[in-house]
Amino acid sequence: MSLIERRLWVAIAALAAASPLLPAAARKTAHKPAAPIAPLVAASNRPAKKALRPSAKATPKATKAKTLRGPWRVPTFADSTEGDRIDGDDLTVRRAAVDALGRLNGTVVVADPKTGRILTIVNQKLALRDGFQPCSTVKVPVALAALSESVVERDTRIRLYGKTTMSMTEALAKSNNQYFASLGQKLGFERVSYYARLFGLGEKAGLDIEGEQAGLLPSAPPKNGMGMMTSFGDGIALTPLELTALVSAVANGGNLNYLQYPKTQEEAQQILPRIKRHLDIEPLISEIKPGMHGAVQYGTARRIGGDFAGSIFGKTGTCTDERTPTHLGWFGSFAETSHGKLAVVVLLTGGTGVSGPAAAMVAGSVYKNLEAVDYLANVTEPKPPVLLASPVQASVVGQ
């Protein structure tokens, strides 16, 4: 290369390095010779793990996962049928419940309200443990307690704030916390505790069901006050079986039956209804049913859908159980058709998407799946019940 050509090349390189059309890094290296090929080959052979390591700024995905998980330590999705023993289940009901729950992490309990026979339990490990905070499902026993004690009548309007008032029917349907907090303050801890025990909370609901644990009732008012206890179930641990027994008693007119879970089909055929105790709530049932039906028609359980031939009555519950911790979605319900009645309780656990309305949607699918095969049309009348008394001390009533 001649001297003139060399000087011309240097000038062109200098102009290129100074050009604003090139990035700064390119301008700095434009006058340098190209890098040799060998080091590039070596770089491409580095371990993939090291090459794909995210930079300090590349963390949105991890942050998003943490945000979705929140404080909860229980997955929203799981195989909820794992480990279940189903030799005594009604297999038609079992299929309907498993299909309705799908991949959600939770439990479904289906029972005959007249006999107390459990037709199926999906996710028995969850259903039989010592319970979770009942969330707003506690409002059903609180409503019955308030009516029993004449603290309120169904049409009594309670002032919530300003000029806003609400009756029991609307408060149950829309799960109004202020309304039920007011009832808790009027009832007081002793009377709330008495009726909770009377309705089966804090004790095993089943008759010799292997592995069943009882829920928990506090021995003193919760630190957050009676309002939180009677609107969110603060301080209480409720089991799915206890809620099943309670909604079954509302469905059948007041008999708190022992739940019986047969181990074989032969045992299932021999089940007799066994009454734990008779609840004197028959005149009150008609007072709370409009609110429980309203929950399905226009309230918190409306996601259940309206294409069911019978009438569904239920109560949702949504909150976080601090002991676990997990987010909860409850729905305790029963259906009435021209052929018979059925109780369905759903409890969902996890984080994102878990709620009482979501649990109601699962229960709605159970009812509709059974309606599709005309299940209730084939239910036979139960044999006469046998009373196995389990009284509750009434010393606190009226205090």
DSSP string, 25-65: HHHHHTTSPPPPHHHHHHHHTS-HHHHTPPPTT--HHHHHH
Q: How far apart are CA 97 and CA 91, in angstroms?
A: 10
Cβ pair 190, 394 in contact under 8 A = no
Give me the sign of the Cα torsion angle 258, 264, 265, 267: negative
More confident residue, 38 or 177: 177
Mean pLDDT, residues 239-247 taken together: 98
Give the tens place of pLDDT for each residue, 155-210: 999 999 999 999 999 999 999 999 999 999 999 999 999 999 999 999 999 999 99
Mean pLDDT, residues 262-289 taken together: 96
Beta bridge partners of 344: 110, 333
pLDDT at residue 238 tops 50: yes
DSSP state of 135: G
Mean pLDDT, residues 367-384 taken together: 82
Q: How far apart are CA 376 and CA 365, in angstroms?
A: 15
Mean pLDDT, residues 377-386 taken together: 67
Non-local (6+) Cβ contacts of 287 within 8 A are: 143, 147, 153, 154, 168
Among residues of the chain, what percentage have pLDDT more than 70?
Answer: 77
More confident residue, 223 or 64: 223
Instruction: List the one residue out of 220, 188, 190, 200 whose CA is nearest residue 137.
Output: 200
Mean pLDDT, residues 206-235 taken together: 97
Give φ, ψ of 105 to 5 degrees: -85, 110
pLDDT for position 218? 97
pLDDT at residue 271 tops 80: yes
pLDDT at residue 258 tops 80: yes
Mean pLDDT, residues 113-123 taken together: 98
Q: How far apart are CA 110 and CA 125, in angstroms?
A: 15
pLDDT for position 305? 83
Q: How far apart are CA 192 and CA 87, in angstroms?
A: 39
**In sequence order, what E strands does the chain have?**
106-111, 118-122, 158-161, 164-166, 255-257, 274-278, 311-321, 326-336, 341-350, 386-387
Give φ, ψ of 175 to 5 degrees: 55, 55
Structure tokens at 163: 């000029």
**In sequence order, what E strands does 162-302 have?**
164-166, 255-257, 274-278
pLDDT at residue 321 tops 80: yes
pLDDT at residue 8 tops 50: no
More confident residue, 398 or 291: 291
Structure tokens at 345: 């309780």
> Alpha carbon of 124 to those of 11, 301, 362: distances in Å?
82, 25, 17
pLDDT for position 332? 98
> Alpha carbon of 138 to those of 151, 154, 362: distances in Å?
17, 17, 20
pLDDT at residue 227 tops 50: yes
Mean pLDDT taken over the chain = 84
pLDDT for position 308? 83
pLDDT at residue 26 tops 60: no
More confident residue, 364 or 382: 364
**Where, residue-wise, is CATH 3.40.710.10 in the chain?**
70-387
Instruction: List the one residue out of 312, 304, 380 whose CA is nearest residue 343.
Output: 312
Structure tokens at 109: 């309990």
Angle CA 83–364–267, to nearest 5: 45
More confident residue, 56 or 196: 196
Q: How far apart are CA 365 and CA 284, in angstroms?
A: 29
Mean pLDDT check: name the lowest of 45-54, 75-84, 148-157, 327-336. 45-54
pLDDT for position 307? 79
pLDDT at residue 35 tops 90: no
pLDDT at residue 236 tops 50: yes
Mean pLDDT, residues 98-125 taken together: 98
pLDDT at residue 388 tops 80: no
Mean pLDDT, residues 88-104 taken together: 98
Pick the CATH number of 70-387 from 3.40.710.10, 3.30.300.20, 3.40.190.10, 3.40.50.720: 3.40.710.10
